[in-house]
Amino acid sequence: MKRLVFLLLGLGILLWGCAPSLERASFSQMLSDLSETSDSDPKTASPTAFEEIRGVWISYLELNRLFSDTPDEDTFCTRVEEMVENCKEKKINTILLQFRAFGDSLSPSTLFPQRYALSYDPAEIFVLAAKEAGLRIEAWINPMRCLTVEEMNALSCECALLELYQSKEDAFFTFDDRLYLDPGCEESVELIVLGIGEIVEKYPVDGIHIDDYFYPSALPFSADSRSYLAYTESDGSLSQGEWRKENLNRLVERISLLLKEKNPSLSFGVSPRGVLNASVNELFADVAFWAEAGYLTYLAPQIYFGFEHQTAPFDTTLNDWLALSERTGVPIYVGLAVYKADAPDSYAGTGENEWIENDDLLSRQLTYLRKAGAEGCFLFRYDSLFSPDNSERQQTAVDRLFSLF
């Protein structure tokens, strides 16, 4: 039973039927038209196509807002075009669009339940709009984090994720009532990799982007004890912590190999926690090893700290990442916390009020990272940049940042 899903997929049988099948020819024709009128290949654009990467995360929160009133296709297209034009006008050249946030799918999928019940494909619309504007667009996924237990049990559509959940208990672990695909289970790894393959085969995205959701912080060893027991019973000798780390090493390697096989020009980046050792110590994600092993195209650490942060000041923290970059050749695109502008930072110790007292903090961070040798930045997130509800000081901070682009 546990191989049923993947056997059926290999035979080309459609398992998932939550949304109507969409006509693909028009989208392919549009991309063909673009290629005839553009000097660059519209299918993929390497980060090196730009002198500096200036990206923005468009998360499921922005998408929830876009779909809050269930827009028809024309209305949705207009909204997306406006978002893309806003990015282009401010000289942002890369969009990180969240295709998968909770084991779901932005687009029609045979593998994961579609996030929004629609008669059109929002991923197609976003990709086409970005390509027409000359922007890069990467598919951002959370590979392990899934639906809550209640949401999973309420699914009524057929998809590989639900089939796996019903057929193999060890493929998931639960934390705070949320399910996670267990990378200690081969079927889970296979599903994650298949899901990425599905995206890059269907859409001419420029790469795959993963953020910092791996094993949750403070996950007890009891959570994935069943799959660890299966490992030790097969003569595995690693401690459970080292085994978790090796599971993620294997997963990231599989993704890297898949992308190189599908299209060597595709980028593969990870956006880990801001402090270099935090990901491996807290999430078992050894991002330094991934860089050293050649799995990654770039790293985008979330350095969401001010210069006055008591334990992780921006400049010192970035310098640690740049030392890794110099050693491995993997470029650094710095994640910047636009959402913190004009807000207290309760984790910053004596620097708690730095974001309130300085409306030039983001612009100074951009200036510093450029001089230090980082090759770009990613901004979290779209609504923090373009919201009409920004305070005057928030908007001043954003405007000062954009003035340097």
Render pLDDT for 237-271 as a digit per residue (tens, 0 to 9): 999 999 999 999 999 999 999 999 999 999 999 99
Mean pLDDT of 164-178: 96
Asked whether the predicted pLDDT for residue 365 surpasses 70, the reply is yes
How far apart are alpha carbons 325 and 304 in whole angstroms? 19
Residue 264's domain comprises: 44-143+201-213+229-402
Asked whether the predicted pLDDT for residue 134 surpasses 80, the reply is yes
pTM, two decimals, is 0.90
Asked whether the predicted pLDDT for residue 236 surpasses 80, the reply is yes
In a domain, 191, yes or no: no
Percentage of residues in the chain with pLDDT exceeding 70? 89
Asked whether the predicted pLDDT for residue 175 surpasses 70, the reply is yes
In a domain, 352, yes or no: yes
Mean pLDDT of 16-28: 40
pLDDT at res. 51? 86
In a domain, 195, yes or no: no
Q: What is the DSSP string of 7-26?
A: HHHHTT-----SS-----HH
In a domain, 33, yes or no: no
In a domain, 187, yes or no: no
CATH of the domain at 259: 3.20.20.80
The per-residue pLDDT of the chain, averaged, comes to 91
pLDDT at res. 17? 34
pLDDT at res. 22? 38
Secondary structure of residue 237 in the 3-state scheme: coil
pLDDT band at 33 (very low <50, low <70, confident <90, very high): low
pLDDT at res. 50? 77
Which run of H or E residues covers position 72?
none
Mean pLDDT of 140-167: 97
Asked whether the predicted pLDDT for residue 392 surpasses 80, the reply is yes
In a domain, 319, yes or no: yes
Mean pLDDT of 104-112: 97
pLDDT at res. 269? 98
Q: What is the DSSP string of 132-191?
A: HTT-EEEEEE-SSEEEEHHHHHH--S--HHHHHHHH-GGGEEEETTEEEE-TTSHHHHHH
pLDDT at res. 109? 97
Percentage of residues in the chain with pLDDT exceeding 90? 87
**Domain count within the chain:** 1
Q: Which has the minimum average pLDDT: 35-44, 50-59, 176-185, 361-370?
A: 35-44
How far apart are alpha carbons 249 and 251 in whole angstroms? 6
pLDDT at res. 3? 43
Asked whether the predicted pLDDT for residue 10 surpasses 50, the reply is no
In a domain, 265, yes or no: yes
pLDDT at res. 2? 39
Tokens representing 162 are: 């639900």
In a domain, 207, yes or no: yes
Mean pLDDT of 166-179: 96
CA distances to 24, 128, 253 from 213, rounded to whole Å, are 32, 28, 17
∠ at Cα 127 (189, 25), nearest 5°?
A: 95
pLDDT band at 169 (very low <50, low <70, confident <90, very high): confident
**Running DSSP on this structure, what letter comes out for residue 99?**
E
